[in-house]
Amino acid sequence: MEKYILPENNDFRFEISLSVLNHLGRNLYRNFITVLGEAISNSWDADARNVWIIIDKEKSSFVIKDDGNGMTAEDFQDKFLKVGYSKRKDGTSKTKSNRPYIGAKGIGKLALLSCADKISVFTKTKDTEYVGGVIDNNGLDEAITNDVMPDQYPLEGLDYSLIDELKDGHQQGTIIHFTNIKGNIRNSVDYLRKLIAMTFRFSVIDKDFTIYVNGNTVSVDDLKDLARNTEFCWVVNEYSDEYIEMLLEKVYKATTFTTPNDVTGFLATVSLPRHLKITGTEERATVDLFVNGRLREKNIIRHIPTQRILESYLYGQLHFNEMDAPGRDPFTSSREGIVEDDEKFQLLLDYLKQTILPHILDEWDKLRLERGKDGDEDNTQRATKKQRKAKSLFSEARIEYKPDADAPNKDQVNAWLDELTPDAVFNISAYMDCFLTENLVRKYITSMGVKLPRPAQKEVLKWRKQEQTSNDKANISFKIRKDSNDLSYLGLDHMAKSVEGTYEGGHNTTLIKDAVNYKPVRNVVGHTGLLTENAKKHLSLTFENIKGRIRTLLNG
């Protein structure tokens, strides 16, 4: 095989086209909140204590200002403008003030190029004056089209009038001005505050790190609607932050559990699925993964769909800082997600699927049943679907009897309602069985043309007479029964004897016997009485026999 010989004066080297900016950043960031997130992350890594976001919708511009370390001219050229420069290149993973670095690859800054025509960067340290430059996206597009090399594309000079009102008292830090935002700022300031609260302040990564939007502090108060509608909460490995503190004051039930790994955070469920929508936005609260205080993967449950109802109610935050350990790079190039086959990420997903979510689903179902609300209908071991619906119906009905907040006996009345709950659930379900059982037999007798025997006719006359007497006392002259034929006055025992043709002296063990056994307990249910446990068991067992026999009857 012929061996290729290099020239003696070889000086081949890489040359990077400006078009790489499109591939690495300008065209990857579609979400405005992601752009804000990158800028806020840069401020965090620069040890800023404050970040000010000033939005001017009329001028279609906005500013991000911080009081971080700032940059010298050398830093601006060799670090900020050097695509791929990593603050961690010397092996350090924390800032001078001991914060964990959020940035890693040195390409997140390219997100800033994706949302405006011009980006003006002003930066200074405590010992230097402002330096920086302007990135004109229109000029950059032209340079890319003409295949201009990076060293042939100087930045434009700064217009210092843009920061006339921003530089007072600004001893150090960076100010970035965005001119002519692409697509304008369609969202309200309140919308952006809530999104920032979800992605940054929600996790409260540092009490000394404050974000302002148009002069107002972003805080957990921006998510008070979500907290107010949260029903249950599960705290993982003793995690705590301002939002958790607010939740614990509002939720119906909060529990804690520990895990064998380094994951912390919380999971929570709302009262209704629509409560996951963040008021005033198009966003929904989801279960999100944070690494070193920054949102890295939104809605991680989508990786492990369970098709169970819990997903419609669940949100939260899981913090897994171990994913950002030295020598690891689990994040996608767009910085908006995790590389899906990352080993630690898969371990987290497996633990969620096999341990955390089943535990929460089971407990959530139990707590929802206690409150008389819909839970996991697939969990028939805890309650049948019919029992769940009965409890839900009773919960709605009891609201009408809820005592006033200042009623002197409100505690006693609420206790009575609680005490009646289990009996109500049983009786509502039992009454529905009575209603269907007896009316279906009436329909069958009518359709088959069964003639009522003499004892049944005598029973009808007795109850007709008694009903008329009651109506006269009540001065009721209108028709009460929808079906006033003879069958509506008969109980299941007389109808069973009519169907099976046995009245006197029979030893039939079919529907007749079951109907006779069922009648005493059925009458208590029909008259809103409360049953003993033995009576409930008796009625339930008898009902199973009756329903089987009636299904056979109806099927011919």
pLDDT in tens, 201-211: 555 456 788 99
Rounded mean pLDDT of 373-381? 81
Mean pLDDT of the chain: 82
Higher pLDDT, 63 or 7: 63
Q: What is the tens place of the pLDDT at every residue in 186-222?
A: 667 888 888 888 777 555 456 788 999 999 999 888 8
Segment 325-338 shows an average pLDDT of 57
Top mean-pLDDT range of 93-97, 328-332, 335-339, 516-520 = 516-520
Q: What is the pLDDT of residues 257-287, one digit of tens each?
A: 888 888 999 999 999 999 998 776 677 899 9
Burial class (CB in 10 A: 0-12, 13-18, 19+), 202: buried
- Higher pLDDT among residues 539 and 291, named by residue: 539
Q: Check whether 106 has a pLDDT greater than 80.
A: no
| pLDDT band for position 347 (cuts 50, 70, 90) | confident
Give every CB contact of residue 384 below 8 A, 6+ residues apart in sequence.
Answer: none
Angle at 393 between CA 424 and CA 313, to 5 degrees: 125
Q: Is the Cβ–Cβ distance between 104 and 331 less than 8 Å?
A: yes
Percent of the chain surpassing pLDDT 90: 34
Q: Determine the Cα–Cα distance for residues 513 and 234; give it in Å rounded to an integer.
A: 52
**Helix ranges, 157-233 (H):** 189-196, 224-228
Report which of residues 509 and 454 the model is more confident about. Answer: 454
Cβ atoms of 236 and 351 within 8 Å: the answer is no
At 108 the pLDDT is 57
Across the beta sheet with 314-319, the strand order is: 253-257, 230-236, 264-270, 314-319, 287-291, 294-297
pLDDT at 463: 92
Residue 90 pLDDT: 57
- Of residues 528 and 183, which shows the higher confidence score? 528
Neighbours of 413 (CB within 10 A): 14
Q: Which CATH architecture has domain 14-186?
A: 2-Layer Sandwich (3.30)
Q: Where are the domains of the chain?
A: 14-186, 222-378, 385-554
Under a CB-based contact definition with an 8 Å cutoff, are residues 66 and 194 in contact? no
Please indicate whether residue 321 or residue 247 has the higher confidence score (pLDDT).
Answer: 247
Convert the pLDDT of each residue in 455-498 to its tens digit: 999 999 999 999 999 999 999 989 888 877 889 999 999 999 88
Are 66 and 50 in contact, with CB atoms under 8 Å apart? yes
**pLDDT (0 to 100) of residue 74:** 92
User: Sorting pLDDT into bands at 50, 70 and 90, what band is 152?
Assistant: low
Q: Which of 520, 524, 519, 453 is nearest to 492 (CA)?
A: 519
Contact 80, 192 (CB under 8 A): no
Please, which pLDDT band fits residue 115 given cuts at 50, 70 and 90? confident
Give the mean model confidence (pLDDT) for residues 160-173.
93
Q: How many helices (H) and strands (E) does the chain have?
A: 15, 13
354 vs 501 pLDDT, higher one:
354
Give me the helices (H) in 91-175, please. Answer: 137-145
Task: Give the residue-averaged pLDDT of 237-264.
Answer: 88
User: What is the pLDDT, as a whole number, of residue 538?
Assistant: 92
Mean predicted confidence (pLDDT) in 216-232: 90
What is the rounded average pLDDT of the residues 374-387?
A: 82
Please give the pLDDT value at position 474.
93
Amino acid 311: pLDDT: 87
pLDDT at 174: 94
pLDDT at 342: 78
pLDDT exceeds cutoff 70 at 103: no
pLDDT at 184: 52
Q: Is the pLDDT of residue 255 over 60?
A: yes
For residue 146, the model assigns a pLDDT of 63
Whether residue 24 is predicted with pLDDT greater than 60 in this model: the reply is no
> What are the pLDDT digits (tens) for 53-88?
998 888 888 899 999 999 999 988 888 877 655 665
pLDDT given for residue 80 in this prediction? 81
Q: How confident is the model at residue 25 (pLDDT cuts 50, 70, 90)?
A: low
Q: Summarize the confidence of residues 169-174 as an average pLDDT.
A: 94
Q: Is the pLDDT of residue 32 over 80?
A: no
Q: Please determine, for residue 177, whether its predicted confidence score (pLDDT) is greater than 90.
A: yes
Per-residue model confidence (pLDDT) at position 466: 93
Which pTM was predicted? 0.71
The CB-based long-range contact list for 475-483 (8 Å cut-off, 24+ gap) reads 483/442
Quick check: 30 pLDDT over 60?
A: no
Question: Looking at residues 384-389, what average pLDDT do you find?
Answer: 85
